[in-house]
Amino acid sequence: MIFYINENLFEATNSPADFFNGQTPKFNPALVTWEEYYDYVNKKREYHESSAYNYEVGDLGKLKESKNKLIKTQQVGKITLQYYKEIIKLEYAKWSGEKYVGTLSLSEMKEAGLREVDISIRCIDFQTKEIVGTAQDEWGAALIAVVNEYKNLGIGEELVKIYRTIYPQKKSGGFTDSGYIQIQKYYNWVVSKFLAAGIYSDLIKKNEISKEKVKAILDSRPKSSKNKEELAKFSKEKTNPLAKYYGGNNDRLFYMTGNTIIVFDSALKDYKNIQNDGLEQLVSEKLVYAYLHVITFNDHEQIYSCYGNEKDLTMAIYLMTAKTNTEGGLGDYYLRNFDENISNIIKKIYSNKEIFNVKIKKDKGYISSIPLKLLSTKKPPVTLYNSLENQTKLWFKTNDKYNEIEDYIQELAYGLSI
């Protein structure tokens, strides 16, 4: 009798799950000893250095959700992770001697015992859509990898569970140290599922497995590398500090001077810890929501450089008009120097007639051939400006005794705008 594992619930059943697509494993890991299972997936005891698959954010690309099926969403701290299944139809070249004559038909593939499809599992960061972990076939072997910045968040363990559930018999091609530990945890996890479901007892009663074999299986379970008295098992502990800082506190503050406004998250008060953990690009850069810098040119304040999303940049520009309403408005002379994304956001803001007035001015001076758009608010936002300014000053007074956070935020914001 062969037992299968339900794809979504990870429970042992006695009927094939759809995802096997007609391909059945040669044996279930829970019905053999650890040594027998490891001998099957890595008979040559191949080994890889930990640096063999040294992926960083961006290396695995972004997921095209339309071609993949969402199978699991997981919240780890402030990070939302999503796991997708991609089914790829396989083709096999057909040769006549040394001449290529096309691909095998479906019936020829079945006759040869070849798989019709291959399944890959991708883990993405829901916010960025970047692939941060993958489980896939690599030249007939299982490749399970997580990008460096997202390790120790439980992604590897989840990928192993899902992918090995689909392909428990897949050869490894060699393990890194962490990969070897993960396959041990997976084996123990599958055995524990059989124990909890009473499957071993049922098989013994039906004389489909001996008591001695079950005892050998249970005795063979690998021990934890940290504590030899305990079994190796998947951990709920997540040690990557990314989960703590990711996304900030969703608490916006407004650093404002005469010609600069920075919208930032209060989580930047921990910037030293963020730096020490090497999370500046993943965390700090995302905690500056908007940056706006203006200069005086041709008798008007002009948006000289800026950065940010539409919502926060609109707020920054709205607040800046508190300084420019009485001076004729905020100009867009330098708009043509901005990148396309920021330029489109500014143009959209300048067309928002619900909260802004736009005056078109044609000068005979430096911009005779370029109509200047001057932005002002329908209602003076001075009171709001002063309130947010005082709130931020109080925050800096409480959290930034030596002006270190202020300097860091200014440098970070400026760096993002160039």
Tell me the mean pLDDT in the region 301-311: 93
- Per-residue confidence (pLDDT) for residue 364, from 0 to 100: 56
The span from the CA of 64 to the CA of 129, in Å, is: 9
Mean pLDDT across 365-377: 75
Query: What is the length of the chain?
Result: 418
pLDDT at 256: 93
Question: What confidence tens digit (pLDDT) does each residue in 13-71 have?
Answer: 333 333 333 344 456 899 999 999 999 999 999 998 887 788 999 999 998 877 799 99
Helices 310-324 and 340-350: crossing angle in degrees, nearest 10, is 60
Instruction: Give the pLDDT confidence score for residue 20 in this predicted structure.
Output: 34
366 Cβ neighbours under 8 A, 6+ residues apart: 297, 298
Percentage of the residues of the chain whose pLDDT score is greater than 90: 61
C-alpha separations of 152 from 47, 161, 225 in Å: 21, 16, 16
Judge contact between 132 and 124, C-beta under 8 A.
yes
pLDDT for the residue 116:
85
The Cα–Cα gap between 301 and 417 comes to 18
Three-state DSSP state, 155 = helix
Are the CB atoms for 172 and 142 separated by under 8 Å? yes
Q: Tell me, what's the pLDDT at 94?
A: 84
The arithmetic mean of pLDDT across residues 324-331, rounded, is 80
329: tokens are 């408005």
pLDDT in tens, 263-291: 999 999 999 999 999 898 899 999 999 99
Output the CA–CA distances (angstroms, integers) from residue 156 to 189, 216, 300, in the order listed.
14, 28, 56
pLDDT, one tens digit per residue, over 98-129 is 888 888 888 888 888 887 888 999 999 998 99
**pLDDT value at residue 224:** 92
pLDDT of residue 10: 35
What is the 8-class DSSP label of residue 356? E
- The two three-digit tokens of residue 37, written as one number: 């299972």
- Residue 41's CB is within 10 A of a number of other CB atoms, namely 20
Q: Kindly tell me the burial class for residue 162, based on how many C-beta atoms sit within 10 Å of its own C-beta (0-12, 13-18, 19 or more).
A: buried
Beta bridge partners of 139: none
Torsions phi, psi for 271 (to 5 deg): -60, -30
The pLDDT of residue 324 is above 60: yes
Query: Could you tell me what percentage of the chain is helix, strand and coil, using 3-state DSSP and rounding each to the nearest 5?
Result: 40, 25, 35
Separation CA 309–CA 313 (nearest Å): 6
Quote the CA–CA distance of 105 and 111 in Å, as a whole number.
Answer: 10
Q: What angle, rounded to 10 degrees, do the helices at 177-197 and 155-166 form?
A: 60
Task: For residues 327-352, give the mean pLDDT.
Answer: 90
Which amino acid is present at 290?
A
Q: pTM above 0.85?
A: no
State the Cα–Cα distance between residues 373 and 343, nearest whole angstrom. 14
pLDDT digit string (tens) for 141-158?
899 999 999 999 999 999
Alpha carbon distances (Å) from 341 to 338, 348, 413: 8, 11, 17
SS (H, E, C) 66-121: HHCEEEEEEEECCEEEEEEEEEEECCCEEEECCEEEEECCHHHHHHCCCCCEEEEE
d(CA 403, CA 105): 71
Q: CB-based burial of residue 400 (10 Å sphere; 0-12 exposed, 13-18 middle, 19+ buried)? A: middle
Report phi then psi at 327, rounded to 5: -110, 15
3-state secondary structure of 131: strand
- Exposure letters 62-92 (e unless 16+ CB within 10 A, then b): ebeeeebeeeeeeebebbebbbbbbeeeeee
Residue 244 has pLDDT above 80, yes or no: yes
Of 172, 131, 139, 186, nearest to 10 by C-alpha is 186
